[in-house]
Amino acid sequence: MARITAGVAASHVPAIGAAVDHNQESTEYWKPLFDGFGWTREWISKEPPDVVILVYNDHATAFDLRMIPTFAIGCGDSFRPADEGFGARPVPVVQGHPELAWHLAESLILDEFDMTVLNEHDVDHGLTVPLSLMFGRPEAWPVKVVPVLVNVVQYPPPTGNRCWLLGEAIRRAVESFDENLDVQIWGTGGMSHQLQGPRAGLINTPFDQAFMDRLVTDPDALRRIPHLEYLREVGTEGIEMVMWLIMRGALGPDVTELHRHYHVPASNTAVGHMVLDASA
Ligand code: DHB
Ligand code: FE
């Protein structure tokens, strides 16, 4: 049977992708950020999972205001890095796992989560930047990826509790896949950031750090954070943090924190990163 062995949380700031693509990881600005991913790169290179269920949001790239699925799943064979306005990132095409993805779609929909099935879509910085953070600049990505997309761009996004419940359903779905697969789940986006309006540049370090603490010690409290609290405390784009709750919900009640990194700023964003072991 397939099983979820670990969860990873990571921000997905597009400027991080540009820094990797232009060999800038050792510059004064970027070194402190990338240093915090060194532990994870070593950990994951020792025993890469077979598949990553990568929870991210599309930023009006594959979708736009004509089509806004709340939850979607990428069932394609592969996913091209998208052109987000400056040409596609020079990173490998992402290989999917259509058999697992279709199994997840079937299991989740019959479990009463109405997933939109994507048979073809390009992936933006929300998916490729976390891969670059974890693997650097490989010729081919060392893992297969099942993308799970969440609308956090156009109001109303799903609640944190709904995200958590989807995570629990993903765990059930993975555990009913009849193949021996080591599966990780990654929750991406966040942490505090607001990219527009008078509060652009907002960062709330105490909230971010308490969120990371509670992800381990009191995740139930995070399920009840309402949208307005995210908007007020961590900015309009801070709402991306609900995607971390899908990851956490999929790990089961007890996790062990293996690694944590927090860095301000990368572009306009507070970068948070955690690795949680689910095998306890
Ligand atoms: C930035 C952060 C994001 O999460 C994003 O999707 C786009 C831009 C930023 O900080 O620049
Ligand atoms: Fe984003």
**Residues 146-166: what's their mean pLDDT?**
98
Question: What's the 43 CA to ligand 1 centre distance in angstroms?
Answer: 26
pLDDT in tens, 96-119: 999 999 999 999 999 999 999 999
pLDDT at site 216 = 97
How does the average pLDDT of the chain come out, rounded? 97
Q: What is the pLDDT of residue 233?
A: 98
Residues marked active site are found at: 125, 193
- Ligand 1 atom with minimal separation from the 193 CA: 10
Of 16, 188, 195, the residue with max ligand 1 atoms within 8 A of its CB, to mutate for a pocket test, comes to: 195
**Judging by DSSP bridges, how do beta strands 71-74 and 144-150 pair with one another?**
antiparallel
What percent of the chain clears pLDDT 70, i.e. is strictly above it?
Answer: 100
Ligand 1, CB within 6 Å, residue ranges: 12-15, 59, 189, 193, 195, 237, 267-269
* pLDDT of res. 100: 98
What confidence tens digit (pLDDT) does each residue in 65-83 have? 999 999 999 999 999 999 9
Residue 209 CB partners (closer than 8 Å, separation 6+):
262
Nearest CA to ligand 1 atom 6: 13
Distance CA 183, CA 257 (A): 17
Domains identified in the chain and CATH numbers: 3-277 (3.40.830.10)
If pLDDT is split at 50, 70 and 90, which confidence band does 279 have?
Answer: confident
For the segment 7-48, what is each residue's pLDDT rounded down to a tens digit?
999 999 999 999 999 999 999 999 999 999 999 999 999 999
Neighbours of 86 (CB within 10 A): 8
- CA 108–ligand 1 middle distance (angstroms): 29
Buried-exposed string 126-139: b where 16+ CB fall within 10 A, e elsewhere: bbbbbbbbbbeeee
pLDDT in tens, 266-275: 999 999 999 9
Token readout for 106 is: 């079937």
pLDDT band at 280 (very low <50, low <70, confident <90, very high): low
Place of tokens 């629990």: 168
